[in-house]
């Protein structure tokens, strides 16, 4: 049961980071969403908010990496198409006010520990996506470059789409990304 409470708290923190960012996230919101008692915070997270946020960003990063690992690797273009289809709902949610939990940690963090957590998550996404592109036939260096471009497209599109209140910036960037791969 304790690990269930801990897990629920981490998931509630991911959701809070997506809704409000690190500065707007509160322990009260996490406790209410997770159904945990007030004393559970320091019992499960003796490092306080920093530890809780770091674990939430790490979990979210692992979940995204797992999704990237599941992309089909039939062709480089197929990987890019599958990636764009998979992230479109995320970008749509951004246009409606949501955000990436990992990006929230990187933007809203004054501590090196949290920036390092975000960097590790982003690096793992690029690495996983590059593996899929390499499996689909791209040269490893080209795959790494394209993977970096796609993750940058995702994160940048979330910001632009949130500001625009729609997905038009993502759609334009997605067309350009598809033009980068011909096979």
Q: Counting beta carbons within 10 angstroms of the beta carbon of residue 45, is it exposed (0 to 12), middle (13 to 18) or buried (19 or more)?
A: buried
Q: In which element (H, E) is residue 67 found?
A: helix 48-69
Mean pLDDT of 56-76: 96
Residues 60, 179: Cα–Cα separation, whole Å: 30
**Angle subtended by helix axes 48-69 and 112-135, to nearest 10:** 0
Mean pLDDT of 92-115: 85
Residue 66 neighbours by CB distance under 10 Å: 10
Residues 129, 143: Cα–Cα separation, whole Å: 8
Contact indicator for 153, 82 with CB cutoff of 8 Å: no
Instruction: Tell me the per-residue pLDDT of 131-159, one tens digit each, with 9 for 90 and over.
Output: 999 999 999 999 999 999 999 999 999 99
Q: What angle do CA 145, 105, 124 make, to 5 degrees?
A: 35
Q: Counting beta carbons within 10 angstroms of the beta carbon of residue 175, is it exposed (0 to 12), middle (13 to 18) or buried (19 or more)?
A: exposed
Q: Provide the pLDDT confidence category of residue 1 given band limits of 50, 70 and 90.
A: very low
pTM: 0.90
CATH of 2-179, one of 1.10.357.10, 1.20.1050.10, 1.25.10.10, 3.40.50.10320: 1.10.357.10
Can you read off the two tokens belonging to residue 84? 């764009």
Residues 81, 72: Cα–Cα separation, whole Å: 10
Residues 41, 151: Cα–Cα separation, whole Å: 33
How many percent of the chain have pLDDT more than 70? 97
């Amino acid at each position: 049961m304790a690990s269930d409470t801990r897990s629920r708290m981490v998931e509630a923190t991911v959701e809070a980071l997506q809704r409000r960012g690190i500065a707007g996230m509160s322990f009260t919101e996490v406790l209410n969403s997770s159904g945990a008692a007030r004393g559970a915070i320091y019992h499960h997270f003796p490092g306080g908010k920093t530890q809780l946020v770091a674990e939430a960003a790490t979990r979210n990063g692992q979940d995204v990496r797992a999704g990237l690992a599941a992309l089909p690797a039939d062709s480089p273009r197929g990987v890019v198409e599958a990636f764009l289809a998979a992230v479109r709902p995320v970008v749509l949610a951004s246009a409606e006010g949501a955000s990436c939990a990992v990006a929230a940690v990187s933007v809203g963090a004054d501590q090196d520990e949290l920036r390092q957590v975000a960097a590790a998550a982003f690096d793992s996404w690029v690495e996983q996506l590059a593996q899929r592109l390499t499996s689909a036939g791209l040269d490893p260096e080209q795959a790494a470059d394209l993977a970096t471009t796609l993750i940058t497209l995702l994160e940048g599109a979330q910001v632009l789409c949130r500001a625009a209140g729609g997905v038009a910036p993502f759609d334009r960037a997605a067309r350009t990304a598809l033009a980068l791969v011909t096979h």
